[in-house]
Amino acid sequence: MGLLEVKKLSLTLGGKKILNDCTVDFWEGHVHAIVGPNGAGKSTLAYTIMGLSGYRGATGDIVYDGKSILGLGIDERARMGITLGWQEPARFEGLTIKNFIRAAAKDKTIASIKDALEKVALNPDEYLTRAVDKTLSGGERKRVELASLLAMRPRIVLLDEPDSGIDVEALEKIFEAIHLLKSYGATVILITHSIAVLKQAEHAFLMCRGEIFDKGSVDKISGYFENKCIPCERTAISSSPEGN
Amino acid sequence: MKAGQVTPKELYDTTELEYEALNNPDVAHIEVHHNTVVGAHLVPGLDVTANETENGVAIVFRVTENSVIEKPVHMCFGMLPEKGVQEIQMNVIIEKNARVSVLAHCTFPNAVEVLHTMDARITVGENADYAYFERHIHGKTGGVTVVPKAKVTLEKGARFKTEFELIRGRVGSIDIDYETTCKEWSVMEMNARISGTHNDAIQIRETGHLVGEGARGVLTSRIAVRDSARAEVHNKLTATAPFARGHVDCKEIVQDNGVATAIPIVEVRNPKAHITHEAAIGSVDTRQMETLMSRGLTEDDAVELIIQGLLS
């Protein structure tokens, strides 16, 4: 039994079934990756686990540490130890990086906040008093987001496309942060269609059409994803005369 | 409490500023309680005359030509009794090539029925620089009516920046009316940050006229209204000279039964001038709120942090 269990989760948005009896377990302290083509339902699964407002009304269940959390609000889930890093993190006019990280931090001392920034290779002297706004580049904003997650010390971290908008040099820092989260005891769930990100994981799931299509080792899933998802083999089969 | 018994320290004790910080002889300051100048210290290059009127003071604030006042000048206006009227008339003259910045506190911590008016005429001379930051400290009752008006003229190459902040205590009723005329190559920046709650009423009229070649101006408003507070922001920027550049930026956050209105007017009468504007009114951004909630903050705490940031 995993720390987080998704059981036959289905969600329809705008008349379209995005999650389709999705079932998956995540193991405590491990790094998992959910990979799949665009539109597979990966981000929707993450947002539904987090309980975001546009992703309520799912059927099935989400069980965390033995308890159903499907009826709980975002903040309640967060206070239980679940959190989410967005693909495109929000920007906040006037809110300083210090106060942004402090809002999440388990240890709210300035030393702890500086330490979180240093962990993502941002100089506290330069960044603490800057705002989390449009003056930050996409890569800087992503690292600030990760710093806040590190400071939070969550039990489960969902990271949606953690490499999005990141250059090669910064990507290494993102990977270091992922492994640091694991070293803190967090269960990490990477949502990605990047092989480089997928390779940071210990377990991989292939998602397709709202369900977990396959699972196993990173090598197994990455091999399948690279060779049979782009272009999609299932679509080719189902749309061919033989597939019918 | 009689006006004359109030000391500068008592006024500053209602603000975040330590009065002892003003002991430095290089720091100029002036304090006015009701219609009495209760404290003042000047530095070379700064001339201030103050005449007491029935309900306030008439002040001439002059920085002489080429004078640079290195440390911010502190001003404090206030009324500590629950009721009263304070009328401030200010004639500010920043002479050619002079530079000064002013940090003003307006404090009405016990107001139940207080009217505070400010009528200012400001002239910033050629290549002079004037920055004026005004912070209001109000009590919890909302019994204050604040009516600040200013007519500002910027001569060639002058720079003027003003910030009005009212985010501590109840606004009560406020009616700001600032108008600035910018001559060639002058730069103007007017900012207002106000947080309204209960049945506070906020009215802002900021007007800038870019009449000189290359004049630049920015009008910025950041307003939050909660409960049944109302805000109406009129920003007007006109450009009539070549290479004038301007921007109007108004953001208002509305919570509960608050009502916010933004009326930006931009008027360009020269084909080589350019003005832009942006206005955003609405509830707190969902993505911002859910980001903070995913870190464990309650919805109320998330909204509070977002508003604090916007108004900071």
Closest by Cα among A7, A4, A1 to A212: A7
Instruction: Give the minimum alpha-carbon distance from B159 to chain A in angstroms, rounded to a whole number.
Output: 24
The helix (H) or strand (E) run that includes residue A168 is: helix A168-183
State the pLDDT at residue A230: 67
Question: Is B305 contained in some domain?
Answer: no
Question: What's the confidence (pLDDT) of residue B1?
Answer: 41
Q: pLDDT per residue over A60-115, tens digit each?
A: 999 999 999 999 999 999 999 999 999 999 999 999 999 999 999 999 999 999 99
Mean pLDDT of chain A: 91
Q: Can you give the pLDDT at residue A225?
A: 81
Of the candidates A90, A93, A96, the beta carbon closest to that of B287 is on: A90
Give the SS3 label for residue B10.
helix
Residue B303 lies in a domain: no
- pTM of the predicted protein model: 0.84
Band of pLDDT at residue A239, cut at 50, 70 and 90: very low
The answer as to whether B249 is a domain residue is: yes
Point out the residues of chain B with pLDDT beneath 70.
1-4
pLDDT confidence of A124, banded at 50, 70, 90? very high
Residue B196 within any structural domain of the chain: yes
Judged by CB atoms closer than 8 Å, whether chains meet at A93 and B310 is answered as: yes
Cβ separation B290–A103 shorter than 8 A = no
Question: Which residues in chain A are contacts of B288 at CB distance < 8 A?
Answer: 90-92
For residue B59, give its domain range.
8-283
Query: How many independent structural domains does chain B possess?
Result: 1
pLDDT tens figures, A130-189: 999 999 998 899 999 999 999 999 999 999 999 988 888 788 889 999 999 999 999 999
Q: Does some domain include residue B180? A: yes
In this complex, do B294 and A53 lie within 8 Å of one another by their Cβ atoms?
no
Is A240 a residue whose pLDDT tops 80? no
* Residue B164 contacts residue B194 (beta carbons within 8 Å): yes
In a domain, B301, yes or no: no
Is A233 or A63 the better-scoring residue by pLDDT?
A63
Work out the number of other CB atoms within 10 angstroms of the CB of residue A57: 11
Residues from chain B that touch A91, judged by Cβ atoms under 8 A, are 288
Check whether A59 has a pLDDT greater than 90: yes
| In the predicted structure, residue A244 carries a pLDDT above the cut 50 | no
Neighbours of A125 (CB within 10 A): 9
CA distance A130 to chain B (A): 11
pLDDT attached to residue A1: 65
CA–CA gap between residue B11 and residue B33 (Å, rounded): 8
Q: Which residue has the tokens 């070379």?
A: B44
Amino acid code (one letter) for B153:
T
Cβ-defined contact of A75 to B293 (cutoff 8 Å): yes
Task: Decide if pLDDT at A231 tops 80.
Answer: no
Residue B219 falls within a domain, yes or no?
yes
Of the candidates B32, B5, B1, B29, which has an alpha carbon nearest to the alpha carbon of residue B17? Answer: B29
Percentage of residues in chain A having pLDDT higher than 90:
81
Could you say which of A73, A78, A95 has the minimum Cβ distance to residue B295?
A78
- Left if phi > 0, otherwise alpha if psi is -120 to 50, otherwise beta: which for B272? alpha
Q: How far apart are CA B111 and CA B84, in angstroms?
A: 8
Q: ipTM of the predicted structure?
A: 0.94
Q: What is the pLDDT of residues B115-167, one digit of tens each?
A: 999 999 999 999 999 999 999 999 999 999 999 999 999 999 999 999 999 98
B212 within a domain of the structure (yes/no): yes
Band of residue A236 on the pLDDT scale cut at 50, 70, 90: low
pLDDT at B53: 95
pLDDT at A237: 52
| Three-class secondary structure of residue B201 per DSSP | strand
Residue A164: per-residue pLDDT: 87
Q: Given this model, what pLDDT does residue B3 score? A: 45
Residue A138: its pLDDT value, please?
87
* DSSP string covering B222-261: EEEE-TT-EEEEEEEEEE-STT-EEEEEEEEEE-TT-EEE
